[in-house]
Chain A
Amino acid sequence: MTSNSRTILICSGKGGVGKTTLTANLGIALAQRGSSTVVLDADFGLRNLDLLLGLENRIVYTAQEVLAETCRLDQALVKHKQVPNLALLPAGNPRMLEWLKPEDMQAIASMLEQRFDYVLIDCPAGIEDGFKNAVAAAREAIVITTPEVSAVRDADRVIGLLNTHGVNPVQLVLNRVRPKMMANQEMLAVDDVTDILALPLLGLVLEDEQVIVSTNRGEPLTLNGTKSPAAKAYSNIAGRLQGEDIPLLDPSKERSGLRATVRRLMQTKIF
């Protein structure tokens, strides 16, 4: 029983920018760091969280049966074998979308809040009904985006809606950062994105091939404590959420040598 449980929506507006990957990795990292955590797949249309966590073969019941009261909550929760502090509440059948209402998501979230320190909600892309249902259950949000114009624009839309729904705080994760492109000013800089969206930065995740490898295996990067840049980033995000003071990565420091120094100099804001 936890009284100060945190329900955090992980959303982006644009599809495919890394919501589910962040939810899975953050879930593992928070649980490993001692917080009881549940990840809730709110993407009923295209569920994937089970697959990223490698739990797809262990699902018996879903949120659907919990809502219909044909099973108990603990029967539907899938516990992670290696990280027993982490559970998944799987998304039900896509047909659920026909009748699911914001109140249903609120009901699920309040059940979960009684048992877990962290409730992470993997939001569907878009700003339609799926988003509206999920946002109703959220208290806080993490908006994830990539440094690309379309993703930032969609993130801005979502931030506006989160504000309207009274979700607070809202923090930003910038994903798929390529230090070299940023250094050459061929990619929006970190400051550009945080200035434009006016959100505090919770973390920076570099573009990292290991993300794909880990997805293939159904073992999120944070599970094996790998030293890959993305794994480090995800676990730093977990630490910051828990209140640890961990400095943010500086993409320009990722590269050294004279050329990198000159590139850094060229990025200096003069006015």
Chain B
Amino acid sequence: MTLRDLVDKLLGRQPASASTARDRLQLVLAHDRSDLSPELLDQMRREIFEVVAKYVDIDLEEGDVSLETEDRVTALVANLPFRRPVASPSPKSD
């Protein structure tokens, strides 16, 4: 973030277009580099939610699994907030 971005934010102004360009590029490149189609990413996201939900109670509305990229390295970043503190996170087995 640059000083200008901060000033824009404080004044509620639209960000400078360079800053928008940078954000859009970063997102599109994360997808280009991973070679994952949106459908596959979506399927993976659902399966990850399912697996995690077996162990903890997560807030599906707030949860997000997305691609991020830095220095030509792409990472899958999951942000899955718990709905409430879990007492014993032992897996349900049957």
A interface with B by C-beta (< 8 Å):
148-149, 152-153, 156-157, 159-160, 182, 184-189, 192, 196-198, 265-271
Q: Size of chain B's interface in residues, with CB distance under 8 A?
A: 21
> Of A148, A160, A187, A267, which is within 8 A of B2 by CB?
A267
| B19 contact set on A, CB distance < 8 A | 185
Given A153-B32, A266-B3, A267-B4, A186:B24 Cβ within 8 A: no
Asked if B22 and A270 sit within 8 Å, CB to CB, the answer is no
Determine how close the nearest CB of chain B comes to the CB of A136; give it in whole angstroms.
22
**Least Cβ distance of A101 to chain B in Å?**
26
Q: Assess whether B16 is in contact with A184, with CB atoms less than 8 Å apart.
A: yes
Which of A156, A182, A266 is within 8 Å of B33, CB to CB?
A156
Q: How far is the CB of A183 from chain B (nearest CB, A)?
A: 10
| A269 touching B1, Cβ below 8 Å | yes
A185 to B22, CA, bound (A): 11
Interface class of chain B by DSSP:
helix
Q: Does B90 make an interface contact (CB < 8 A)? A: no
Question: Closest CB-CB distance, A21 to chain B, in whole Å?
Answer: 24
Closest chain A residue, CB of each to CB of B72:
A198
* Closest B residue to A268 using CB positions: B3
CB-CB < 8 A to B25: which residues of A?
149, 152-153, 188, 196
What's the least CB distance linking A185 to chain B, in Å? 4
Contact mask B1-39 → A, CB, 8 Å, 1/0? 111101100000000111101101110110011000000
Chain A contacts for B4, CB-based, 8 A: 185, 266-267
A192/B6 contact (C-beta < 8 A), A153-B28, A198-B71, A270-B1 known = no
Are B17 and A185 within 8 A (Cβ)?
yes
| Residues from 53 to 94 in B contacting A, C-beta threshold 8 Å | 71-72
Pairwise interchain contact B16-A186, C-beta atoms closer than 8 A: yes
Contact of A160 among B6, B24, B33 (CB under 8 A): B33
CB-defined contacts of A189 to chain B, threshold 8 Å:
18
Given contacts A156-B29, A185-B2, A188-B22, 5 further A-B contacts (CB under 8 A): A149-B28, A152-B25, A153-B28, A185-B16, A270-B1
